[in-house]
Each structure stands twice: as C-alpha cells, then as structure tokens.
Chain A
C-alpha cells in the first residue's frame, strides 16, 4: 500500500480483494519499518485491529457501509480520542488521557474509519516545521535532511510515506497546507465553521479549523465530508448543507474562472515554484479556463495581523494550563501562584512561551488598541479584498509556500523568518474561506512543490472541482 488513493482501497475492500484487517496490518508494518521518520507519537495497534475486524465482519454480512469504512486514518495529537493520550506534543500534556471524543472523532467512528494512531506536531500547533515538538523530530519522507513542515507535519509525513492513506490535521495559519506542500500530498483547510472544533485543543479559536490530508483531491473531499457538519457544542459551527464531493461533470476548465494574485508572484518566491505556478496557469488557459488577474492589496499586512490575533488568542487559551485540572503540576512546597508559574515554565517549550509573551504583550494595557484591535481591523480589510476577488472568480490559484522544504535548524534561530513561511496561507484563516494545497511536481533538489487553491466561504465543492482539474493537468507534466 504505497501511497494508494482511497478510491482504490475502497474498491478493493468492496470487491473482496483485500480486507480492512489486511490494510491495517500493512500500515502497522510500514509504520514499524519507518519508525525513524517520527511521524507518530502513539500507535493504537490493538484498537485498530479490533475496529478493522468489526468492519470486515459487517461487510461480510452485507451491511451498507461508508466508502471510508475500514480505511486507516491517522489523527493529529491535538484532537481528543476518548481513552487515548492527547499530548499536543507538549510536556504539559504528556500524560493527559482524553475523557471524551472530539466531534470529528465521533463522526469518523460513525463511518467506520480505523483510527490507527496519533501524529507528531509542533507543540500546541505553534510552528511551521514540527521541530517544536517536545518529543521528537519528524523527518520529511522525501528528503530526510529536511523538515516536513508544520504544524501538522506528522500527519502529512505519514500520508506521504504511505504509512496511512488518510490523516487529519488542524490549521490556524497554514498548518495543513504548508506541510502538505512540503511533503507532496493534498491538504485542505475548510471554511471556518465547516468542521466542529469541539475536542480540538484550542490555539487561536477564531482561526482554528480541522481538515483532511490525502494522496488525491477525491480522498481529501471524502474525508472532509465525513467530518463536516453542524455541532451544537461549537458555537461557531455552521448550519450549512454538507455537499462537498466534487462533481466530475463540473470539472470542465472551459467553465472555470481562475484568479491570479499577480503581486504575489515575485522574486521572493523560489524560481521553480514560480515556474510551476505559471505552467499551471498556462495549462488552465490552454484548456479553456478564463484567467483573471486579481488585486489583494492588503496581503503585505497579513503576517503581522495573523501573528497578533493568533498569539493573543493563544495567550488566553493556554491560560488554562496551570497545573490545577490537567496533567503536569510542578510539585514543590509552593503557594498557588508559584505553582502556576513553575508548572507553566516547566511545561511549555520555547516557541509556545514566545507566542504567549507576544499575545500577552499585545493584549496588555497601552498596547491593546494599537496591536490587537488594529490587527482585527486589518483582518476586516483583508477579508474585503477576498470578497471582491471571489465575486470575479471560482478559485484563486497561488503558491502554497514561498520555498520548498527547508533544512532542520534553518529557521529555528529566527522566529520571524519561520513566520514568513506562512505568508501565502494565513489569509485564508484570517478571512475564514477554504483553501487547499495540491502537489505540483518537484524543484531541482527533487523536493515537492505545492500549489494552492482558495475559494469563497462554503464553496469547498467548487474548490475541489478546480483542484481536481488541476490534478489532471499537472499529471501531464509530472
């Protein structure tokens, strides 16, 4: 099962040429063989085999099953699975056992997916390389001297290495699309509100969304459809019909309008990524699509606005980790306030502390309006740019990242240089619309290139149709 698409696996399960137990055994074997990649923090071998056997039994009894039934799926370790450890790759939560299932886990269990393990990530999802995990490095399966991206680097590495066909990640500023681009897989950040955040450990609550990682657009769409939908336990969960599967009859480039943010395509972007972008634009145009140049004048302010909003929300969200109710407590003969400080100082890693500090600073007296409130105003301006753009086009096409995967240690010494890697992805989180990364060949070092599609809020199905069309066009040159 080396990087198989879900449609092939489902077909094999239905025609009886394989079983879910056999798929799970293959995954477990590959996970064992590729332990060095460090993609997983925990593997639930017994649970996975039990679920797989149950699905195989139900299939034999001709029960109607979902196309995802019996398919192994890996889950990022900031999503709660009842009875399993959820660490967020932090020493703070090293022994935290989830008392309940996240909404997405309930949904996945309902369709009969096999939950096979929890994947590595940057601590509390704060990072773009998975180097900030408190427990281990995750290697990029394409080039093991390089990072897989982050923060969902474990999920994308697991799919790229063929350890699992599907995985779940989470995105606050690009944490699914950027590692998907670095590893050469498909990654989707859905519309804000499309997937319930109930049971996702919060980082930036107004930005966080859970999304799928897969080997192709169809697999990602299928997984997203399974986890989407309204949930009353998340007050931002949207009441919208869930109809996310791309319609093949609508994958006609002649009926597509593709927006290009020309101002993004500068020499700051790696040459091969620019070439891939231009090539796909040309291919779309040749195939009959209408190419429309669009303006996104406030893009230059997206990174500052994003890091101000995200860290402000993080400083508030992470206040709950104080040694009272969960996992780590610094045990010493202390008073309550000292216990909070010692616990948090011992439990959080460097980058998490940096972001809590920045967030606390910009919410503090004298700085609140200039930083936090103005960042939220910039957010309005950025959202307005996109509303105007989406009136003219079905989807916007752009690079996912300015460079391909970087080397370990290359950006950890300068936090701002790490943040700039998110330059093309943060706007979708700030303005809430859906966006995805699709593999588009390799650079001269044979590192994967990812191209991004963005669509109007709740237009995931249309975004998938455009991305599927791109997938076909790209296949001709890769």
Chain B
C-alpha cells in the first residue's frame, strides 16, 4: 500500500476534490483528524488479501424481468419544489465562468 502521509497540503488537495474548503484556523485540526483516521484504517494492510475477491454488494441477486411499461414519475413541478433557483421549468445556476465583482 502507498505509504500514507497526511499534511495540510494533502488535506487541501482532497478538500478540493470533494468541493470543500477549510480556513487557516481549521486546517491543523482537520489534518490531525484525517491523519489519525487513516493511521487506524491502515491496519487492514496486515492482512494477506491476495486472491480475495472484493465484496461490493452483499447479496448479488439478479434483477427480475418486468414488463417494459410506462409508469408515472416525479413531475417537473415536484422535481423543482426544492430548487434554490429556477426559471422556465429548469434549475437555474450561476454562470460556469464568472469572476467576483469587486
């Protein structure tokens, strides 16, 4: 297993992947927490896992066949019920590329 090394730079990189951010006051604690969690999780490296198949789901029951019939689904108004912003039946989001006005 790749040796785990958790520093503030690692936390910032992972946070960016997860669309989260931590300010300077938080980063040391978060680094410490993530480090101790990963150190504990690394225990699984003790086991010989060669040739063991991973279990992604416990009971791999094959889905049954069913008629290909049209069924009601959530309507547009219902789907938009909790949208923070909407327009003409669509979710409205900020522009993808936009710089802050200052």
Contact = CB atoms under 8 A, between A and B. Distances in A.
Interface residues of B, number: 58
B34 A358 contact: yes
A404 to B, nearest CB: 23
A334 B93 contact: no
A427 to B, nearest CB: 12
Contacts of A96: 82
B54 A379 contact: yes
Interface string B9-40: 01100110111111000000010011011101
Nearest to B63: A235
A46 interface: no
Contacts of B84: 323-324, 326-329, 331
A380 B96 contact: no
B49 interface: yes
Nearest to B81: A99
B88 interface: no
Greatest chain A CB density within 10 A among B34, B43, B47 is at B47
A333 B100 contact: yes
Contacts of A305: 44
Contacts of A241: none
Contacts of B17: 360, 364
A353 interface: yes
Interface residues of A, number: 77
Contacts of B36: 414-416
A364 to B, nearest CB: 6
A214 to B, nearest CB: 25
Interface string A218-256: 000000000000001001101100000000000000000
Nearest to A348: B20
A193 B30 CA distance: 35
A97 interface: yes
Contact of A366 (B2, B11, B33, B85): B2
A115 B37 CA distance: 39
Interface of A: 95-97, 99-100, 191-193, 206, 232, 235-236, 238-239, 298, 300-301, 303-305, 307-308, 315, 319, 322-329, 331, 333-341, 344-345, 348, 353-354, 356-358, 360-362, 364, 366-367, 369-371, 373-381, 383, 414-416, 419, 430-432, 457
Interface of B: 1-2, 4, 10-11, 14-15, 17-22, 30, 33-34, 36-38, 40-47, 49, 52-59, 61, 63-64, 66, 74, 78-79, 81-85, 91, 93-101
13 contacts: A96-B82, A327-B84, A341-B21, A344-B18, A360-B14, A362-B38, A370-B45, A376-B54, A377-B52, A379-B54, A380-B54, A415-B37, A432-B58
Interchain residue pairs A-B with the least CB separation, the first 5: A432-B58, A370-B1, A376-B54, A329-B84, A335-B98
